[in-house]
Amino acid sequence: MIEARNLKKSFGAHRVLDGVSFSVEKGESVVIIGASGGGKSILLKQLIGLLLPDEGEVLIDGESLSDKNERELLKVRSRFGMLFQGAALFDSMTVEENVGFVLRREGKLSEDEVKQRVAEVLDMVDLSGNQEKKPAELSGGMRKRVGLARAIVYRPEIVLYDEPTTGLDPIVSDSIDQLMLRVVERLKVTSIVVTHDMRSARRVAQRILMLHEGKIYTNGTPDEIFQSQDPIVHRFVNGISKAKAHGF
């Protein structure tokens, strides 16, 4: 369904992605792990055409994104939903307006139907009754849940999550994990999650890819990754810094 072919991206002299290739099948839940600043979010943005690679291409159902202009990409993106690291809610709008944004722009549903759909999806993310609040009135976890509601309200085929649990306490992180699993189960979506939260990765992944030094270093099931004896993978998933590994 989604195929990344030899993606390369540099910012100035710093090469962030150095030939990333992988594919994701329909209905799969894939988690991409890797160090902070290692290019995971850049990779995610390339998958949806928000950033273009310097080299390589992304194919969605065999169709390359590289030769499309912004307006053509908008059509492709309507198949995607994305939860941003900081939720990226429109701060001039209420929760209800944020979640119903796409439905109102499409204009296919009546105002009552839009409100009904927004209420349903807010109920799904356990935020019923918060329709009139502004993003500034919400906690970090609530903002992420509204961001998720906005990403799934138009029933996309693929949902991308950029660090969904970063900056949240363990209880709220757990609730976000449960939500991601609920979305996969109820909406049968393909999901790609970028995270360095290992507990979250283990819970939501069917397959884990590890990004290391600009390349996919390893690719396997959660059990394979967490039991790996490879020193780089072992250190990362168990949170052991180099200094500690050398006994300092």
The interface with another protein within residues 47-66 (CB under 8 A) comprises: 48, 50
Q: Is 136 in the site for another protein (CB under 8 A)?
A: no
Residue with tokens 């979250």: 200
71 is a contact residue toward another protein (CB under 8 A): yes
Per-residue mark of binding to another protein, 137-156 (x: CB under 8 A): -------------xx-----
Nearest to 125 by CA among 157, 84, 172: 172
Interface stretch with another protein, choices 1-9, 80-88, 121-129, 169-177 (CB under 8 A)? 80-88
> Distance between CA atoms of 205 and 78, rounded to whole angstroms?
24
CB-wise, 75 or 242, nearer to another protein?
75
Does 233 participate in binding another protein (rule CB under 8 A)? no
Taking the C-alpha atoms of residue 34 and residue 188, their distance in angstroms, rounded to an integer, is: 26
Give the per-residue contact string, 23-52, with another protein (x = CB under 8 A; - = no): ----------------------x--x-x--
Which of 9, 40, 77, 207 contacts another protein by CB under 8 A? 77
CA distances from 81 to 17, 45, 223 (A): 23, 12, 28
Helix orientation angle between 111-124 and 140-152, rounded to the nearest 10 degrees: 130
Check residue 89 for interaction with another protein (CB under 8 A). Answer: yes
Residues 6+ apart with CB under 8 A from 95: 89, 122, 127, 130, 131, 132, 133, 134, 135, 138, 146
Q: Spell out the residues 6+ positions from residue 128 whose beta carbon is closer than 8 angstroms to its own.
A: 119, 122
Per CB under 8 A, does 167 bind another protein?
A: no
Question: Pick from 62, 67, 75, 110: which binds another protein (CB under 8 A)?
Answer: 75
Give the nearest distance from C-beta 107 to another protein in angstroms.
Answer: 9
- Nearer of residues 101 and 236 to another protein, judged by Cβ: 101
Say which residues have a Cβ less than 8 Å from residue 61's Cβ, sequence separation at least 6. Answer: 1
Query: Shortest gap between Cβ of 12 and another protein (angstroms)?
Result: 13
The answer to whether 70 contacts another protein (rule: CB under 8 A) is yes
**Would you tell me which residues interact with another protein (CB under 8 A)?**
45, 48, 50, 70-71, 73-75, 77-78, 80-82, 84-86, 88-91, 101-102, 105, 150-151
